[in-house]
């Protein structure tokens, strides 16, 4: 099989370097270009010594046109960048996977409210597919443009999905108490995420409003006829990678007779054929490290009376970002869905 | 003022050594005895070099009778120990502060269910005072025997109290999503709390049932005429000290017209004169490190529609254990309530 | 190519589970047996959820004879175990790779002094090959029995080798100031390696004498005609994986005219064809994380007058243990040396 | 006793906030002013919630003249700032303690080489006293201007002092392999010290040359008639606070007959009356956490043949910076040397 050519825009952040780690050994791809205006000419492995001997690329100037030689371009950039550059690439028949927020929200008014930026290509946006393969595989297969989900939204959607889809819980009273490792904040020089600030301590943040709420609500709303109301409380945890979402949902009266076994079976059947979703035995306590550096997401059910608690863990940089993007690429190009992303979690 | 004599049973764990740190410089006390059967004769500072030059005591054999020379004895022991030894001390007029669970629950049936141990002194238990000074100061002042609260229950009670006391929220739908540093698991040789197991990872635990639930429910029930139902979900976080409780409560219909300012004012007034409770501005995100190594507990309010979210942080070993025990001692003996425990948090 | 059958003795520790991670996806092997007396019958993935879906084995009773069905058996056990069981396996033509200390030291008197245990199979020991492929590849290729090097010794040998081999430094004045992540202490329930004990702190240990000194001295002595004297100072660092050795050696008078470029070239040429040794540019500061979860060892040179400083980093569980063991197996069986162990380091 | 008035320039960094923690409860001082051009008007406790309720000051504009109302002004600023502002304050009779580098090096040529900045007040510099009270107490007592030592130099000087002072070791072959927590890098927004960059990893840095070398050599040279040559290798360790220096020195031929007991006794006697230097038993392994958040420095001796190894630990922000500055202030003003800085280390 001929290898496809990969371009990456914004390879100096954590999702960018994680894409490099995953794609450098992917059997069906060839890293062709990685762009950075500020680092043009610098060998990637000079910035990231972990890639010495494995990635020979240098950063290219985005203006060089090299991205147009690719089959697919990943944007691992702050919002606004993909929006500006994707249309031209799409016009040339190049597929685009945006790991940022530009193509996640179909409602541009909502986008503009949360991202303080007018959406510059609403028409292109309409063709974008929300890239959560487990819930959206067929659309991903046909897609030219993917809006890759946020890290938190991935856990919330996969955790609530079996409950909402089957109309078992009150969609107006969902609570997601979520915890993320610090790499989720990106590789930006900021005081708040210095080691001495965020180590040996934790806090909630964005409790009054976080950009992942509208994205999640838009998607959850597709699963149910009920109106969705979600309370989403993110917390910053002193670990590099890892995300733990603790989801609370109230069973509707007609579902309260379901046994724990019924619920467990429902979840297991929903994800039975998914290579990257692991439903653990009822009452388990998944650890984030059981997914570290892998594309696996694990979940487990608990119950208190009429409240179902779903514990969901993933690596925020893999299933929550770069791994999911590669999974989407695999589906789009007809590769084995696990190609290049079947590495086992690193433990300890 | 003459100094009172202190005895500590079980000084080899984290709450024990924290008591030593706090009491070694307390202006009104003298460390008189610290017992450990296995370490008798060993200088305390040999086991804990942080105390070299500050604590000259050696561990004593508990059978030596030295505890009977004390004015007050702290039990920093697993459950069952205080129950066995406290009655004899109390009979001799010595006051007892138990940092374990033996004297926290008045309902012995509940105690026996959760601790798998018959309660051996139900009569003495009746005289025990639950040592949360902010809610129980007068009783503490008169007490001979204190059941010092658990770490999680301290945060849940102080966070929910203004809401329940004023009958503002639905007591049957309380959720406490709580996160604790690893020192809460104690200084026991166990695989699960090894550095390589609990670092750079997190998990929930005891979601199906944790001993701090019955204790908290018993106390919350005193605040309200409603029946209390609490979902309590503890999580283990890779930090040494620190506890963050994220509390969710639903406003009752008659309280839904309250403004955020009304709620904020209620909390501020409730704790206005408390030296160790800090109500931060509405919408704040307290960090656990803002209480590190100090007896301060901080909280902040948020709101989503009819749901009030209270974020509460403390150092689990200080306000959640040893510091609160010293605070109780100060109240019992008429010392300034802040004596010996007014150290500022360590930041960074 | 037919797959060889793998047996692992002692799969419940960190080197054992790391072997499983590496071998589960190795293209030329099949995991056949993993033994544990205490865990017999338990699925491996129940103890290590990171392996769910990837490893279906259960722990076997070592007495079941299942190891005799294997082509190669790895011992990831405390010292003494391999010594007792290896001879019988070797007699049946099964190759043995011991990750413990039983077959590292040829001098049994030294072994017995440091391990407080008589060596029970001195004859078999004579046939053991010290498994550092970079320095010993031909012998490894022929070996039936491998003593896999300790983690510290790997860094010290590879770092000092070009200097000693070429007789450039005073072998009687070598200093190795080494730092290890906590996983090096193993997966044993011990107070000293609890999260709350070894996090946010560091210390030296074994400064007066450590078992890796005699092993290293025995090997360094083969590189030079000088008498070797080594000061080895290990430190425990609050990180899960990772080892950083800071090596100091004094140039002999006849070598003091060498330029930095000469030294650099010597190191680069020495390791030019090694897939797992990376000589970074002169004056670099390698980070341990640039090797995290990979089999790569990186080093860089510095110089102060007549003192050469070599900075060496590796993942103590991979190149320092399980990865090196698989590398040895690859060499022994004629597989590509990088087969199954070419995963890229995890960053961040 | 009347309280003296304190001014702090540069209170937004870690040494600044640590000064606030120590001085807020100091019995003989009153916090009068803390300046920051960028934060003028902002309450200090808003930036550092750990100080809520304890420090009521707001940041002042340095141009306001408020510093001239103080008795002593601390500079917790980057180099260059104290140099510019100290002379005017000194002229008004205000004492100055500079926690930066401006007044540490008497040789301005060396200063200019390492700090790339001309020294603007060489005359004032001559009156500056190097503020290491253990070695320089009388001069500190008389001083108007203190150059507070760097963190690494404090450990190296106190560790080597008994050996050099008594001419026991070869001063031309000193090695200091030092390890620092990340707070030593300050509270600046930089990628290299982000949590996700410096957690679970370590590295050496500045091996080819670090500013603390000339400072240390200048001071060590005062202890001996030998020419001093020091190899200083700093490393960055994933802990917030803490410094561990591993010092290697070679006994001179005439000293090689000294027993370990002789050496131990020498160290113990040297520091017998020092409140903040603890010589632990021979062969101990001090942990950095045994000094966490306290002004104590601990050391222990080891020996390999003719090489003496001194292990030294301290909290880099306390004895290595702010605590030592307060200790200097105590000596200058005739307060008890331990006033305000006698807090016990925080363990765990």
ipTM above 0.85, yes or no: yes
At residue A63, the pLDDT reads: 87
In a domain, A91, yes or no: yes
Euclidean distance between the first and the last CA atom of chain A, given in angstroms as a whole number: 36
Percent of all residues in chain C with a pLDDT value above 70, rounded to a whole number:
100
Q: Note whether B65 and B205 are same-domain residues.
A: no
The CA distance from C314 to C297, in Å, is 5
As a whole number of angstroms, the longest Cα–Cα distance in chain B is 64
- Residue A21 domain-assigned (yes or no): yes
Q: What is the pLDDT of residue B63?
A: 87
The C-alpha of B225 sits at a distance from chain C's nearest C-alpha, in angstroms, of 41
For chain D, what percent of residues have pLDDT higher than 70? 100
CB atoms inside a 10 Å sphere around CB D138: 10
Q: Give me the DSSP letters along C209-265.
A: --THHHHHHHHHGGG-SSPP-EEEEEEEESSSS-EEEEEEEEBPGGGTT--HHHHHH
CB D140, CB D133: distance < 8 Å: yes
What pLDDT sits at residue D63? Answer: 87
Q: Looking at residue C63, what is its pLDDT?
A: 87
Q: Is the pLDDT reported for residue A1 higher than 80?
A: no
Same domain, C243 and C112: no
Residue A141 lies in a domain: no
Residue D241 at interface with chain B, using a CB cutoff of 8 Å: yes
Q: Minimal Cα distance from D13: which residue of A?
A: A191
Range of the domain at B163: 152-316
Same domain, B243 and B157: yes
Question: Which residues are CB-neighbours of D163 under 8 A, at least 6 positions away?
Answer: D169, D249, D308, D310
User: What's the pLDDT score for residue C62?
Assistant: 87
Is residue B250 in a domain? yes
> Which two tokens mark C58?
């259960």
**Residue B264 confidence (pLDDT) above 70:** yes
Amino acid D49: pLDDT = 97
Strands, E assignment, A184-292: 203-204, 230-236, 243-250, 277-279
Residue C290 covered by a domain? yes
Q: Tell me which of B183, B189, B195 to substitute to probe the interface with C (most C C-beta atoms closer than 10 Å).
A: B195
DSSP string, C5-21: EEEEE-TTSHHHHHHHH
Whether C203 and C235 have beta carbons less than 8 Å apart is answered as yes
- Asked if A347 is an interface residue toward chain C (Cβ–Cβ < 8 A), one would say yes
- Whether residues C242 and D200 touch (CB distance < 8 A) is answered with yes
| Most B-contacting residue of A159, A173, A201, A317 (CB-CB within 10 A), to test interface | A201
Residue A37 is predicted with a pLDDT of: 87
Enumerate the residues of chain C whose CB falls inside 8 A of the CB of residue A49: 280, 284, 286-287, 290, 298
Q: Are residues D110 and D165 in the same domain?
A: no
Residue A21 host element (H or E) = helix A14-24
User: How many Å lie between the alpha carbon of A225 and the closest alpha carbon of chain C?
Assistant: 35
Torsion of CA C61, C63, C66, C68, to 10 degrees: 150
Q: What are the tokens at C128?
A: 């053991």
Contact A230, A220 (CB under 8 A): yes
Cα A290 to Cα A158: distance, rounded to the nearest angstrom: 17
What is the band of B1 on the pLDDT scale with cuts at 50, 70, 90?
A: low
| Averaged pLDDT for residues B209-221 | 96
Q: Residue D11 pLDDT more than 90? A: no
CATH number of residue B27's parent domain: 3.40.50.720
Summarised one tens digit per residue, pLDDT across range A275-331 is: 999 999 999 999 999 999 999 999 999 999 999 999 999 999 999 999 999 999 999
| Nearest CB partner across the interface for C199, out of B188, B189, B199 | B199
**Mean pLDDT of the region D237-266:** 98
Nearest to B318 by CA among B20, B95, B10, B55: B20
**Shared-domain flag, residues B195 and B271:** yes
pLDDT at B25: 94
Closest CB from B202, B240, B242 relative to A244 = B202
Whether residues B23 and B104 share a domain: the answer is yes
Provide the pLDDT confidence category of residue D250 given band limits of 50, 70 and 90.
very high
pLDDT of D329 higher than 90: yes
Q: What is the pLDDT averaged over residues D268-297?
A: 98
**C contact residues 75-104, partner B, Cβ 8 Å cutoff:** none
Tell whether A189 is covered by a domain: yes
Pair D121, D24 in one domain:
yes
Confidence (pLDDT) at C263: 98
How distant is the Cα of B321 from the closest Cα of chain D, in angstroms? 14
The chain-wide mean pLDDT, for chain B, equals: 97
Percent of residues, chain B, with pLDDT higher than 70? 100
Could you tell me which of B283, B176, B270 has the C-alpha nearest to residue B220?
Answer: B176
Q: Which residue of B has its CA nearest to D181?
A: B348
Q: Is the pLDDT of residue C11 over 90?
A: no
Question: C129-138: per-residue pLDDT in tens?
Answer: 999 999 999 9
Q: Is residue B38 part of a domain?
A: yes
Q: Number of B to D CB contacts under 8 A, please give it.
A: 90
| Chain A touched by D65 (CB under 8 Å) | no
pLDDT-based confidence at B37, cuts 50/70/90? Answer: confident
Quick check: A239 and B288 CB within 8 A? no
Q: Which residues of chain B make contact with C183, given a CB cutoff of 8 A?
A: 196
Cα A57 to its chain centre, rounded Å, is: 25
Task: Report pLDDT digits (tens) over D200-230.
Answer: 999 999 999 999 999 999 999 999 999 999 9
Report the CATH number at residue C187. Answer: 3.30.360.10
**Shared-domain flag, residues A290 and A251:** yes
Percent of chain A with pLDDT over 90: 97
List, for residues C27-58, the tens digit of each pLDDT value. Answer: 999 999 999 988 999 999 999 999 999 999 99
Alpha-carbon torsion angle B151, B156, B162, B165, nearest 10? -100
Indicate if A312 and A164 belong to the same structural domain.
yes
Q: What is the pLDDT of residue A62?
A: 87
Cβ neighbors of D105 (< 8 A, separation 6 or more) are D111, D114, D147, D214, D215, D218
B332, B141 Cβ separation under 8 angstroms: yes
Would residue B342 count as lying in a domain? no
Per-residue model confidence (pLDDT) at position B62: 87
Q: Tell whether B346 is within 8 A of chain C (Cβ).
A: no
What is the mean pLDDT of the segment spanning D129-153?
Answer: 98
Is A208 close to B302, i.e. CB distance below 8 A? yes
Rounded to whole angstroms, what are the CA distances from D319 to A275, D15, D28? 54, 11, 20
Cα–chain center distance at D259: 32
What is the rounded distance in angstroms from the CA atom of residue C74 to the CA atom of residue C86?
10
Pick among B195, B344, B345 to test the D interface (most D CBs inside 10 A): B344
Residue A25 pLDDT grade (very low, low, confident, very high; cuts 50, 70, 90): very high
DSSP 8-class letter at C192:
G
Task: Give residue B256's pLDDT band: very low, low, confident or very high (50, 70, 90).
Answer: very high
> Are the beta carbons of C238 and B195 separated by less than 8 Å?
yes
pLDDT given at position C1: 67
> Same structural domain for residues B191 and B228?
yes
Neighbors of chain D with 3 or more C-beta pairs under 8 Å = A, B, C
Is the domain of C186 the same as that of C92?
no
Average pLDDT over residues A4-10: 96
- Given a cut of 70, whether residue A139 has pLDDT beyond it is yes
In this prediction, residue D235 has a pLDDT band, given cuts at 50, 70 and 90, of: very high
Please give the tally of structural domains in chain D. Answer: 2
Q: Do D182 and A193 touch (CB under 8 A)?
A: no
**Is the pLDDT reported for residue D1 higher than 90?**
no
Same structural domain for residues A121 and A158?
A: no
- Is A151 marked active-site? yes
Q: Which residue of C has its CA nearest to A182?
A: C348
Residue of chain D nearest C232, judged by CA positions = D304
State mean pLDDT over D116-125.
Answer: 93
Nearest-CA residue of chain D relative to B18? Answer: D347
- Give chain D's length: 348
């Amino acid at each position: 099989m001929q290898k496809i050519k990969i371009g990456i825009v914004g390879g100096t952040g954590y999702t960018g370097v994680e894409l490099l780690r995953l794609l450098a050994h992917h059997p069906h791809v060839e890293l062709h270009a990685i762009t950075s205006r500020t680092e043009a000419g610098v060998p990637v492995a000079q910035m990231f010594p972990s890639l010495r001997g494995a990635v020979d690329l240098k950063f290219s100037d985005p203006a060089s046109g090299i991205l147009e030689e690719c089959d697919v371009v990943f944007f691992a950039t702050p919002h606004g960048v993909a929006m500006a550059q994707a249309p031209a690439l799409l016009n040339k028949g190049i597929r685009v996977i945006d790991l940022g927020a530009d193509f996640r929200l179909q409602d541009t008014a909502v986008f503009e409210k949360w991202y303080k930026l007018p959406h510059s290509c609403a028409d292109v946006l309409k063709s974008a597919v929300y890239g959560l393969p487990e819930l959206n595989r067929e659309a991903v297969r046909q897609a030219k443009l993917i809006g890759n989900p946020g890290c938190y939204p991935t856990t919330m959607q996969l955790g609530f999905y079996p409950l909402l889809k089957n109309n078992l819980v009150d969609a107006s009273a969902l609570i997601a108490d979520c915890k993320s490792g610090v790499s989720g904040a990106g590789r930006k020089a900021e005081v708040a995420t210095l080691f001495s600030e965020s180590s040996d301590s934790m806090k909630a943040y964005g409790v009054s409003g976080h950009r992942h709420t509208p994205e999640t609500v838009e998607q959850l709303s597709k699963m149910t006829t009920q109106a969705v109301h979600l309370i989403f409380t993110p917390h910053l945890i002193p670990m590099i990678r890892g995300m733990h979402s603790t989801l609370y949902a109230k069973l509707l009266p007609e579902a309260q007779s379901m046994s724990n076994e019924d619920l467990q079976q429902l979840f297991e059947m929903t994800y039975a054929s998914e290579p990257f979703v692991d439903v653990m035995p009822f009452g388990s306590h998944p650890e984030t490290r059981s997914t570290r550096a892998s594309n696996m997401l694990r979940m487990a059910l608990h119950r208190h009376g009429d409240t179902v608690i779903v514990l969901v863990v993933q690596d925020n940089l893999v299933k929550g970002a770069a791994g999911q993007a590669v999974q989407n690429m695999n589906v789009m190009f007809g590769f084995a869905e696990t190609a290049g992303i079947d590495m086992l979690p690193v433990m300890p």
